[in-house]
Amino acid sequence: MNNSINPNQFGMMFTTEELYISQKKAKNESNSPVEKHQGHFFGIQSGDTSAISEQAQQQAENEKMQEFRNSAIKNLSNLDENSENFLEEATDRIVESALKKEFGSKMAKNKGFSAMKSSILKQILENDEQRGKMELFINDLMPSVKKFIQSEEKN
């Protein structure tokens, strides 16, 4: 009989940090009951810590992408979708958001930030393939942007 607990069956979600701490604790206590049963708790075989690492890494990546997506939606919400310069303005905001997410918002105060952002914008907007990909990305976000705007108007 399998006595492993599926954390999602109780509506619990574990943060990446909780998974990492659990994995680290299990490694430090190599002969403890924690290590022996940790794998069953996460629905994997005991001793398979690589699966936990992969799960934690994937969850961290998913959280990072969701934060970026939410930031992009918020940044696009106060642009005029019908403006002639909408694609350029939207791309500017998305690139800036991505750079701040990747390097931290303090980076925006650095002298080279503006030049770096301008260089990236130029590469995206002057390359037909990259411009097309950005346009698709923005178009995919627009239904969420509209929902965000509606929810903000209600509040």
* 0.85 surpassed by pTM: no
In angstroms, how far apart are the furthest CA atoms of the chain? 65
How high is the mean pLDDT of the chain?
A: 78
Domain residue limits, the chain: 62-154
133 pLDDT band (50/70/90 cuts)?
very high
Please give the residue that has the higher pLDDT: either 14 or 111: 111
Q: Which amino acid is at 118?
A: S
Which structure tokens are listed for 39?
A: 């794998």
What pLDDT, on a 0 to 100 scale, did the predictor assign at position 41?
45
Of 97, 85, 100, 92, the residue nearest 124 (C-alpha): 92
Question: For residue 23, what pLDDT band results from cuts at 50, 70 and 90?
Answer: low
Query: Coil, strand or helix: which one is 6?
Result: coil
Q: Which pLDDT does position 48 carry in this prediction?
A: 54
Residue 2 is classified by DSSP as -
pLDDT digits (tens, 9 = 90+) for 108-123: 888 889 999 999 999 9
User: Residue by residue, what is the 3-state secondary structure of 41-63?
Assistant: HCCCCCCCHHHHHHHHHHHHHHH
Q: What is the pLDDT of residue 30?
A: 53
40 token code pair: 């069953």
| Residue, of 136 and 106, whose pLDDT is higher | 136
Tens of pLDDT, residues 31-44: 544 444 444 444 44
- What digits encode the pLDDT tens for the residues 60-86? 888 888 888 998 999 999 999 999 999
